[in-house]
Structures are given as C-alpha cells and as structure tokens.
Amino acid sequence: METRKIDTSDRELLITRKLNAPVQLVWEAWTDPEHIANWWGPDGFTNTITKMDMRPGGEWNLVMHGPDGTDFDNKSIFKEIVPFKRIVYEHVSYPYILATIEFEDLGEQTLLKWHMLFESAEEFLKVVKTYKADKGLEQNVAKLDVYLSKMK
Amino acid sequence: MIARRDVYQAIADPTRRTIIGMIAAQPQNVNAIAEKFDVTRQAISLHLKVLTDCGLVVVKKQGRDHFCEAQLDKLSEVSAWVDQYRQHWENKLDALEIYLDKLKKEKYGNKKD
C-alpha cells in the first residue's frame, strides 16, 4: 500500500551560494551562451552551446566535451524565465532533472539557490552512485589552478 | 548474473523503503509488517531477504515471532555518495564564482569605487 508523498527529500538537491557579484553580472554569466560555456560542466570539460533560447518552451542544447574526447549532449527546455530572479528548466536528456535557479539581489552580492529535483528516488540514487566524484574533483582542482594563474 | 547486494539495491524499491521506515523507530514482527501491504506474505519475505542480505535489516527470533530490526548505519554509505554528487555541483558554483571575478575585472578594470 503505497501512498503518494509530496515529500521530495529523497530525490532533490539544493545548493546555495553567496556570490561576490551584483545580480546583473551573475544573470549575464548564467544567460549568455558565451559566458556560460566558460564555467559550466564537470571539471576538465569544455562546452559548446548550439542553442540557448531563453523563453518558456525554448530549447537549450549544450554539448560537453570530455577530456578523453567524448561528447555529451545535454538537452534542456526552459520552463520559466524571470529576469534577474528565476530560471526553471527541465533537463530532458538523461538524467531527467527539474532545475530551479533563484537569484536574490543583495546589492554587491547575489544569493544563488540551485535546486535540482530528480524524477524518482531510484533515478537520483543511480545518478549519485554512478557519478565519479573523485575523478571530477581532481580535474576541478587543476582547472581552478589554471583560472587562478590567469587572474594573477 | 550475480545479484547485486548493496544498500542501493535495498532502497531502490519503494516497498523496501516503506519497510525500513516502518521499522526504523522500533523493531516489528514480520507478520505485522506483511499485514500493512497489499502484496503476498511471500513477496514481503523476499523484500526482507534482500534487506537482510544488504545488511539493512536483522531478523531476530523471539519465541515464535521474528522481529525485524533496522540497521541504519548502512544508510550513511548512501549519504556519502550524495555528498560527493553535491560536491560536483558545488564545484560548478566554484567555477562560476571564479568566472564572475574575471568578468568583473574585465568590465570594471581595477578601478576602486
């Protein structure tokens, strides 16, 4: 006897971060394909954005190029766009994720709330289990180093 | 094919998750658990066997009753994986943060307000 629960705690992830930039700039970095290609994706990957139609129903196609030359297609559909406030999109290629990104204007800073809802607890577990976190972390540190050296 | 017996398999099934929820607070009799579900007693036994094999449940015999006790320590393995996956997204935000700094420098140069 299974009752449908509204509780989604077993299949969601919420990441919040206070970013040291005004909301206009954060919005720009998020919504301009040229900018987003510079920071999106797992570590060690580069990105090509072939389409980013930021309006409800609009498509977003992003190809991540892995360090070993493998390409990963990511297709999403935007559901809601509220400039400088909110982006909702559905990641329709695997794994299915409903993502909601909220931007909170804090003057010189911006509070970003990134919520990801998976289709089911089963899918969520599958994704976290198969995710090669340690490898990704290693690559990210390298990427961070490169960024930092550029900034000097 | 060898059946996978780990904590993920244990909680991959909604019935098994419900069972864990039922016995998390206090151990329960196998019959009492089976009564709560619309499926056969055998089906519940099978679920309990998977849970036992995966180390999430221990069945203790008390007289004629078999009590199921949850072993919740095992679940921390799952949260460790979730934490690693979370870290992946935190990394994405790290990259965004670094990129924003770069953008700020490009836009506003080094001038001080």
**What is the C-alpha separation between B106 and A57, in angstroms, rounded?**
33
Using DSSP, state whether B36 is helix, strand or coil.
Answer: coil
Record the tokens describing residue A32, joined without a space. 């301009």
What number is the ipTM of this complex? 0.71
Q: For the segment B28-81, what is each residue's pLDDT rounded down to a tens digit?
A: 999 999 999 999 999 999 999 999 998 889 999 988 889 999 888 877 777 777
| pLDDT in the model for residue B77 | 76
Q: In angstroms, what CA-CA distances link B14 with A7, A46, B11, B89?
A: 14, 38, 7, 27
Whether B98 and A144 lie within 8 Å, measured CB to CB: yes
Q: Do residues A26 and A113 touch, judged by C-beta distance below 8 A?
A: no
Q: In chain A, what residues touch B101 (CB-CB under 8 Å)?
A: 20-21, 151
Provide the mean pLDDT of chain B.
85
Of A1, A38, A148, the CB nearest to B99: A38
Whether A21 and B104 lie within 8 Å, measured CB to CB: yes
Q: Which residue has the tokens 């909604």?
A: B14
Q: Residue A62: pLDDT band by 50, 70, 90 thresholds? A: very high
Q: For the segment A103-127, what is each residue's pLDDT rounded down to a tens digit?
A: 999 999 999 999 999 998 888 888 8
Residue of B nearest to A19 (CA): B97
Phi-psi label, residue B27: left if phi above 0, alpha if psi -120 to 50, beta otherwise:
beta
Task: Provide the 8-state DSSP code for B47.
Answer: H
With a cut of 90, say whether residue B96 has pLDDT above it: yes
Whether A129 and B81 lie within 8 Å, measured CB to CB: yes
Record the tokens describing residue B105, joined without a space. 């420098």
Q: In chain B, what residues touch A40 (CB-CB under 8 Å)?
A: 92, 95
The residue with greater pLDDT, B109 or B26, is B26
